[in-house]
Structure 1
Amino acid sequence: MDIPVDNKRVRTLFAGQGIAEFLTSKMNDYAEDLARWNPGGLLATSPDKVAAELLKRHGVMGLRIHEPDGTPDSVDRTVNLGREYSFHDVRRSVKVYRLAVPFTGDAGLFSIRPTTYTLNPPAGHVDSSGRRLTVEFVNPAGEAPDPEKIGKSFAEVLRSVNWHLDQHRDAVEGHNTRIADLGPIQQRIAAIKAERDILSKIPLPKVSGSEG
């Protein structure tokens, strides 16, 4: 299994903009896309196909993490133990245990807060191209590694990740349902037809030729 190299440290997840802001931005892009759609192309395409294309462009693929498909690995990392041990910097090598789990869906959701405020978000390294989320356990300096403790730590982090993703789910599903709705597309088509009907009924002025 590909696990990121040691210099790719984990970062706090679910710490960016809120889900409501994120989906509002996506809906605004959808509305602008539909409004600017070529009228002739819109009339020549079935609403179902237009909806499918808009969903592809502006829908959000729900994010899910899956069971690990390999064993953890470990690396040595130098950390500063800080004032807990001394008034001066104390650098010491610790063992870091890492577990990578595959995921499917929009990797961008790892940075989206499910609510305005999210307490104690988990941390991990997101590899968008490799579709892997890596979580870590830093073994305390001077302590012998405890496999049971390490495994429980991994499980707790992944439970927290799943909790955050669960909070996204209803909002994402509702967003996709609105994107796939044929109503706005049919309204846009009706408006185009009505405008073309008006244009077709405008009488054209007759311009008399100049007498020489």
Structure 2
Amino acid sequence: MYVTLFASRNGYLDHSLQATVEDIEQRLRKWKADALLNASEHDVIETLIGLGTVACPVLLREEIYTLEMTEEERQYVEFGDRITRRVTVMTFVVPYEGEEYVFRVRPTATTLNPPRVAELNSRDLRIVLDIGAMETEQLRRQFHEQLDSIDMYLAWARTDIDRHNQRIRSLVPQLVAQRKAELLAQRNLQAELGFPIRRRADAGTYSVPVKRREIRPTEHSGSRAGSKPFTPEPAMADADYEAALQALGHQRNALERSPAVAVGMDEEAIRNLLLVNLNAQFEGAATGETFNASGKTDILVRVQDRNIFIGECKFWNGPQSASDALDQLLGYLTWRDTKAALLLFIKNKDVSAAVKSAAVTIDAHPNTKRRGHQNTDERIDFVLHANGDSNREIRLALLPFALPADATSRFKRKTQSQDADN
């Protein structure tokens, strides 16, 4: 009994692929609203893409092996008569990777004589050849001809599948965004929350080359994924986050170009300088200041008793300093907070090595999920999850500051002196 591969009687590959798209749409529709709104959008997209993409089978030719030769009774037709003969056969086992059903349906391209095999399962296919009086080379050639025929059909199937997978990767993010927008609209959450920030009338008097912005928080999920109700929360809009990082970057560049300014400055002094320039760009509704200080090294944007932005300032003293700063920053952030920056002050020597080491340290942190979009010498982005909630994602920008060695030395001396006094 033989199995005909890529047979139209089992269906068509393009129909099966379209059914996969429809299944993705149905899964998204049936996803519980609170769970979807509270989950990490990136994780939802990756999950659905994983379910929707198809792995075209690949024959693992280097792993082919044979079973012991056996004798079987075969029926033949000779001159109109059906006769039975006992013949010696050899079974070739061909392992493969990919999805079995691709072998069973017809791709867009085809021939009138698709290949056949003795057996097909989820791990391998088996080709049985009647040895008869065949020489070794003849047997090898016949076997490879069958393999080549199967590979030809797989190449046709792969064309269909690659087109489908590309469609899935572009379609799923749109479907997720549309579904979340529908759910938010149903709950009347499209209106922005409070936290208006006005443009300063005196914006033109400041020299930092960033236009002043009116910041409004976007809506963001507020409870852990699952059946718990979705609740709105204040969050810093992406454009405002990027504008704040840009302002910090401009100030960093100014300090690096004017090292005499930074000499003798400790973390708190540099933090205060950054605050002045940030508040020259943004104005809060209640106090006139958007960015505030907390402790000696923190830069905060706080609304409704929540920190929607935190910047942590830290001098680089090896990988442990980056790890400590990250732990401290995560300790400030609750599961409602979504955006942060780690401002790493590095003395001029081996700045690139220090940045690389800091990035490796952050990559290895248990809260780190993946790298973000930016990965340059001036900024490296990460996506972390909040303590105790893997679905609450925190965007972290690592901003290195190359400062004069004297600034770091003075900070060390001051710290050692404080330790001695204590």
Please indicate the TM-score interval, normalised by the length of the shorter structure: 0.7 to 0.9
Counterpart in 1 of 2:174? 183
1:43 CA displacement: 0.9
1:40-84 CA-to-partner distances (Å, cap 9, x unmatched) read 1111122221122112333212210111435433221111112x2
- Correspondence for 2:129: 137
Distance 2:2 2:60 in 1: 19
In the other structure, the counterpart of 1:99 is 92
Give the 3 Å change call, closer, same or farther, for CA 169–116 of structure 1 in structure 2.
Answer: closer
What's the CA shift for 1:117?
5.2
Secondary structure of 1:79's partner? strand
CA deviations over 1:87-106 (Å, ceiling 9, x no partner): 44311111222211210011
Counterpart residue number, 2:279: none
Structure 1 residue 164, shift from structure 2 partner: 0.7
Question: Where does residue 166 of structure 1 map in the other structure?
Answer: 155
For 2:403, the equivalent position in structure 1 comes to: none
* 1:118 CA displacement: 3.6
The partner residue of 2:135 within 146, 168, 182 is 146
Identify the structure with bigger relative contact order (alpha carbons < 8 Å, sequence gap 6+): 1
Determine whether 1:111 maps to 2:104: yes
Aligned to 2:18: 24
Q: Does the aligned pair in 2 maintain the 1:60–1:172 contact within 8 Å? A: yes
User: How far is 1:158 from its partner?
Assistant: 0.6
Shift of 1:111: 0.4
> 1:54–1:180: 8 Å Cα contact kept in structure 2?
no
Write 1 or 2 for the structure with the bigger share of strand: 2
State the 4+ residue runs in structure 1 displaced beyond 4 angstroms.
Answer: none
The 1:115/1:170 distance shift into structure 2, 3 A limit, reads: closer
Call closer, same or farther: CA 1:11–1:191 in 2, change over 3 Å: same
Distance across 1 between alignment mates of 2:64 and 2:56: 24
Contact 1:52–1:180 (8 Å) recurs in 2: no
Is the contact between residue 97 and residue 136 of structure 1 (CA under 8 Å) also seen in structure 2?
yes
Shift of 1:144: 1.7
Whole-angstrom CA distance in 1 between matches of 2:82 and 2:160:
46
- Tell me, what secondary structure is at the counterpart of 2:61? coil
Cα distance in 2 for residues equivalent to 1:148 and 1:48 = 54
Could you say if the C-alpha distance between residues 199 and 71 of structure 1 is closer, same or farther in structure 2, counting changes exceeding 3 Å? closer
Structure having the higher Rg: 2
Q: What amino acid does structure 2 have at the position aligned with 1:112? A: V
Which residue identity does 1:95 align to in structure 2?
T
Per-residue Cα deviation, 1:165-190 (whole angstroms, up to 9, x for no partner)? 11111221222233333111111111
Shift of the 70–111 alpha-carbon distance from structure 1 to 2, 3 Å rule, reads: closer
From 183, 191, 194, the counterpart of 2:185:
194
**Residues 100 and 194 of structure 1: CA distance in aligned 2, closer, same or farther (over 3 Å):** same
Is 1:64 matched with 2:53? Answer: no
Whether contact under 8 Å (1:30, 1:179) holds in the other structure is no
Aligned CA distance change for structure 1 residues 137 and 63 (closer, same or farther; 3 Å): same
Residues 185, 39 of structure 1: alpha-carbon distance in 2 compared, 3 angstrom cutoff: same
TM-score by length of 2: 0.41
Work out the CA distance in 2 between the residues paired with 1:149 and 1:116.
29
Q: For residues 111 and 21 of structure 2, what CA distance do their matches in structure 1 show?
A: 23
- Alignment of 1:120 with 2:113, yes or no, is yes
Amino acid at match of 2:150: V
| Corresponding residue of 2:321 | none
Cα distance change, pair 116–155 in 1 and its aligned pair in 2 (3 A)? closer
CA distance in structure 2 between the partners assigned to 1:171 and 1:94 by the alignment? 40
Structure 1 vs Structure 2 CA RMSD: 2.2
Measured at CA, do residues 116 and 101 of structure 1 come closer, stay the same or move farther in structure 2, by a change above 3 Å? closer
| Unpaired runs of at least 5, structure 2 | 192-422
